[in-house]
C-alpha cells in the first residue's frame, strides 16, 4: 500500500511540474510583442544583387542585395522575365535579439523547373532581422517556367503566427 501511494505521489508531482512549465511557456509568449510595419510594396530593383546557389528556390539560385528600391507601387505584376517585386518592411519586438521570421511565397499553381523536374507550389525561407531596421523580401521572375499568371501570395510568420499577407497578381 505504501508503494502505491508513493507512485501516485510521484505521478502527481511530475504532472504538476509539467503543467507549471507549460504555463511558464504561455506567459513568456504572452509577454512577447511584435509589430510588423509595411513600408512599401511593388515592382523594383535590388541594389548590389549577388546570385547565390539555393536548392530551396525553384530556379536553384537566389539573389541577395543591399537594398530594394520600389519603382512602381502596385500589386499587379507583368509576367515578364526580369521583373522583381516585393515588400519593404520593418519589425518591432520586445525580444532583445534579432528576430527570426518565416516567409512563404505561395504560387497559383506548381512551378516545374525544366532542368531538375522538381515541382514547387511554395517557397519557404527563414529571415533573420534586426529590429526597427527597414528590410525587404522580393521575388524575381528569372525563367520562363516562373511566368505563372494568377494570385501569388506572400505570407510572413513569427513563431507560426501570421504577421503579414500580401497578394500580387501576375498578369
The whole-number pLDDT of residue 95 equals 73
- Please answer whether residues 145 and 112 qualify as being in contact, where contact means their C-beta atoms are separated by less than 8 angstroms: yes
Encode burial over 68-95: b for 16+ CB neighbours within 10 A, e otherwise: bebeeeeeebeeeeebbbbbbbbbebee
- Please answer whether residues 98 and 118 qualify as being in contact, where contact means their C-beta atoms are separated by less than 8 angstroms: no
Give the residue among 39, 32, 56 at the shortest CA–CA distance from 160: 32
Architecture of domain 34-170: Sandwich (2.60)
The whole-number pLDDT of residue 29 equals 45
Tens of pLDDT, residue by residue, the chain (171 residues) = 444 433 334 333 434 433 333 223 333 445 578 899 999 999 999 988 888 888 889 988 888 888 899 999 999 999 999 999 999 999 988 876 789 999 999 999 999 999 999 999 999 999 998 887 899 999 999 999 999 999 999 999 999 999 999 999 999
Question: pTM of the entire structure?
Answer: 0.79
Q: How far apart are CA 117 and CA 57, in angstroms?
A: 13
Indicate the domain borders of the chain.
1-31, 34-170
Amino acid at each position: 500500500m505504501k508503494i502505491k501511494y508513493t507512485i501516485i505521489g510521484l505521478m502527481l508531482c511530475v504532472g504538476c511540474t509539467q503543467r507549471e512549465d507549460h504555463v511558464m511557456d504561455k506567459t513568456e509568449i504572452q509577454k512577447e510583442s511584435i509589430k510588423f510595419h509595411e513600408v512599401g510594396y511593388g515592382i523594383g530593383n535590388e541594389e548590389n544583387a549577388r546570385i547565390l546557389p539555393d536548392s530551396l528556390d525553384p530556379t536553384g539560385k537566389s539573389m541577395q542585395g543591399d537594398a530594394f528600391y520600389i519603382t512602381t507601387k502596385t500589386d499587379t505584376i507583368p509576367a515578364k522575365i526580369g521583373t522583381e517585386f516585393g515588400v519593404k518592411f520593418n519589425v518591432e519586438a520586445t525580444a532583445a535579439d534579432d528576430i527570426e521570421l518565416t516567409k512563404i511565397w505561395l504560387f497559383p499553381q506548381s512551378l516545374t523547373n525544366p532542368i531538375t523536374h522538381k515541382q514547387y507550389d511554395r517557397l519557404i525561407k527563414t529571415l533573420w532581422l534586426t529590429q526597427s531596421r527597414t528590410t525587404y523580401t522580393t521575388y524575381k521572375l528569372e525563367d520562363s517556367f516562373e511566368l505563372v499568371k494568377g494570385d501569388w501570395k506572400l505570407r510572413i510568420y513569427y513563431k507560426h503566427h501570421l504577421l503579414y499577407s500580401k497578394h500580387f497578381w501576375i498578369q
